[in-house]
Structure 1
Amino acid sequence: MLLRKSPSPEATIRSSEITPQSVFEQPHPTRRRFLTGAATLGAAALAARTIPSLISPPTTVEAAEQLVTIPSKYNLSDPETPLAKASTYNNFYEFGTDKSDPSHEAHRLPTRPWPIQITGMVKKPQTINIDDLIHYRPLESRVYRFRCVEAWSLIIPWDGYSLSEFINFCQPLASAKYVQFFSYNNKSVMPDEPSGYNWPYREGLRMDEAMNPLTLLTFGCYGQVLPNQNGAPVRVIVPWKYGFKSAKSIVRFHFTDKQPETTWNEADGREYGFYSNVNPNYDNARWSQAHERRLDSSVFPRNIPTQMFNGYGDQVASLYAGMDLKKFY
């Protein structure tokens, strides 16, 4: 069992003092298709027709439970993506394949009780409680770029602490070279889950990637608990990789000495490599990665150049020194 370590009053400030609270908006029921062209005038007109709820989500919702966080050095000056967009334009295939499906369907996800298994090459396999995990360390508020393989991007303030701290608690054996994440899966809760995939959703990282300080064990965003569609109650954020590497709704951490199977790499290894580092110089089978469409407070997505490692090269490029990033994509 994890020991609760609540942050001292002197070391913390409430999230309401960090992130302004506002009335957030629900998704429009209209289905949206992803914008595939550059952000030209014609593409903007297409966006107005196909993703209207990103432009003007119409109704309000009740604010979620607030989190107590402390400031972090991992912050960006870029304008944040409004929560109304970040929580209504999501990939979460277990709740449907349209971007708007998770915001409509993920309310069925039960987030308590939420036992979490620690298995594989560790000194002591065990099961722990989500609330003990949340209180294991003070939660930091980190503003990260979040880049999806489909060439859209967001700026999101995530709340959590470095995954390395939790891995140290797990006490993996020296022979463990990878950590694998297993997501929640329940067909009665996820009736729209598409066939043809080997569920549950699985992802994984090399141990040095998982231990990098940027890799965030995440419990909230925008100063409040994660919306279900954003991966409640716990996920990882790996900001220099494409978004599908940041596994949602995790129920198991498995340590192994072999490169683990991952859902998208298994489904289409040509398009979804195990590493999946953001790389403007390497296109996948369907999309150019040279540019991205940034979802922010502007009316239409902005077309901007993609940065190598999503702009985090100073912190992570050394992890891949000497590797052919077109072979190990």
Structure 2
Amino acid sequence: MIIRRAANGLDLPYPSEITPRAVFEERRQFIRRLALGSVAGSALWEMANREAHGQTASAQKLVASPNPAYAILDKKTSQKDATTYNNFYEFGTDKSEPAMMAGGLKTRPWTVSIEGEVKKPFVLDIDSLLKLATLEERIYRFRCVEGWSMVVPWIGYSLSHLIKKAEPTGNAKYIEFVTLDDKKQMPGVRSPVLDWPYTEGLRLDEAAHPLALLTFGMYGEVLPNQNGAPVRMVLPWKYGFKSVKSIVKIRFTKEQPATAWNKTAPREYGFYSNVSPEVDHPRWSQASERRIGEDGLFARKRKTLMFNGYSEVASLYTGMDLKKFY
């Protein structure tokens, strides 16, 4: 059940108000048994479930070399959990909805426009974008804003490769990311829950950090639609909502760009969105987390690590008050 509250005049569901995964899974299993009640019925359910999730038995493989520099020791989250528990408001506000609603998203043809304060603006189709740099697999901790976390093997390359190709001018201080805004394919954008299209932003030095991953796949396959196909960002030291999905435009700017969640609830979602146990969200603590698929509702929570454990980014914020610039 989602409890809706007014925010800026809108009925806005917050992540913390979404049904807990354990409760949802138990309810879904109960419904399965009621609706099907047989071995044959179970087979039909699994087939329908795959189709609803936009999954096929022959998902397209994506070849990439594992990068040992980004291979943490934590146990990887199961592919099923990582692809069925998502925030992707273009396809619904409940975490189960993107997997059920995104199957029809067309990811070919697809282009990404690079523009703004750059010497070499250009437009690349997704296949050319894939070939821009060597793909590698990186295992990242991935932190969700409401206290859940995952460990996912992502496939992509550092955003810095694209930045170098564009050659930013001296005026470029930030990068704005703009997502697809298509009411025909994305039922969620018909709702006023956010100011569409979804936008996110980074400082240029954040975007150029080697950890910032322009991402095309996960678990050895192309990105499932519900995980941001065909191209998204993954920033492991920032909360998950900062990792913008289904990108169609990357714009270099002089001024700090407005971001979707900051526009909707500015007192709750700042521009930086760094993982910090010392900075609580106004409605919940950020000091601890639960690992999806491992930590049940009654298990002891894990302590949140500063910058999600990626201490190498600390120098980006030297001298900044992270409670003020949250």
Q: Identify whether the pair has TM-score above 0.5, normalized to the shorter chain.
A: yes
Give 1:273 shift: 0.7
The residue that corresponds to 1:200 in the other structure is 197
Cα displacement string for residues 151-173 of structure 1 (whole angstroms, at most 9, x for unaligned residues): 11000000000000111111111
Cα displacement string for residues 240-273 of structure 1 (whole angstroms, at most 9, x for unaligned residues): 0000111000000000011001000110011111
The answer to whether the Cα contact below 8 Å between 2:132 and 2:161 also exists between their aligned partners in 1 is: no
Give 1:287 shift: 1.6
Of the candidates 170, 180, 186, which is equivalent to residue 174 of structure 1?
A: 170
The residue that corresponds to 1:59 in the other structure is 46
The residue that corresponds to 1:223 in the other structure is 220
The residue that corresponds to 1:255 in the other structure is 252
SS at match of 2:61: coil
The residue that corresponds to 2:116 in the other structure is 120
Of the candidates 272, 277, 293, which is equivalent to residue 296 of structure 1?
A: 293
* Structure 1 residues 239 and 258: CA distance shift in structure 2, 3 A: same
CA separation in 2, counterparts of 1:165 and 1:124? 13
The residue that corresponds to 1:162 in the other structure is 158
The residue that corresponds to 1:144 in the other structure is 140
The residue that corresponds to 1:306 in the other structure is 304
The answer to whether the Cα contact below 8 Å between 1:280 and 1:291 also exists between their aligned partners in 2 is: yes
Give 1:304 shift: 1.0
Give 1:136 shift: 1.5
CA separation in 2, counterparts of 1:277 and 1:229? 24
Q: Aligned pair 1:35/2:20, yes or no?
A: yes
Q: Aligned pair 1:323/2:308, yes or no?
A: no
SS at match of 1:113: coil
Cα displacement string for residues 27-65 of structure 1 (whole angstroms, at most 9, x for unaligned residues): xxxxx94339xxxxxxx7x57645759xxx973641410
Amino acid at match of 1:195: P
- Number of equivalences: 287
CA separation in 2, counterparts of 1:86 and 1:51? 17
The residue that corresponds to 2:88 in the other structure is 92
Give 1:124 shift: 2.5
Q: Structure 1: any 5+ residue segments left out of the alignment?
A: 1-31, 37-43
The residue that corresponds to 2:6 in the other structure is none
* Structure 1 residues 268 and 33: CA distance shift in structure 2, 3 A: closer
Amino acid at match of 1:149: V
The answer to whether the Cα contact below 8 Å between 2:286 and 2:304 also exists between their aligned partners in 1 is: yes
The residue that corresponds to 1:187 in the other structure is 183
The residue that corresponds to 1:26 in the other structure is none
* Structure 1 residues 301 and 116: CA distance shift in structure 2, 3 A: farther
Q: Structure 2: any 5+ residue segments left out of the alignment?
A: 1-16, 31-41, 51-56
* Structure 1 residues 125 and 311: CA distance shift in structure 2, 3 A: same
Identity %: 53
Moved more, 165-174 or 300-309: 300-309
Give 1:125 shift: 2.1
Q: Aligned pair 1:74/2:61, yes or no?
A: no
The answer to whether the Cα contact below 8 Å between 1:82 and 1:297 also exists between their aligned partners in 2 is: no
Query: Please, what TM-score do these two structures have when normalized by structure 1?
Result: 0.82
CA root-mean-square deviation:
2.2
* Structure 1 residues 305 and 141: CA distance shift in structure 2, 3 A: same
Of the candidates 253, 267, 289, which is equivalent to residue 270 of structure 1?
A: 267
Give 1:149 shift: 0.8
Give 1:85 shift: 0.5
* Structure 1 residues 214 and 48: CA distance shift in structure 2, 3 A: same
CA separation in 2, counterparts of 1:104 and 1:176? 39
CA separation in 1, counterparts of 2:79 and 2:58? 11
Amino acid at match of 1:182: V
Amino acid at match of 1:223: G
* Structure 1 residues 227 and 48: CA distance shift in structure 2, 3 A: closer
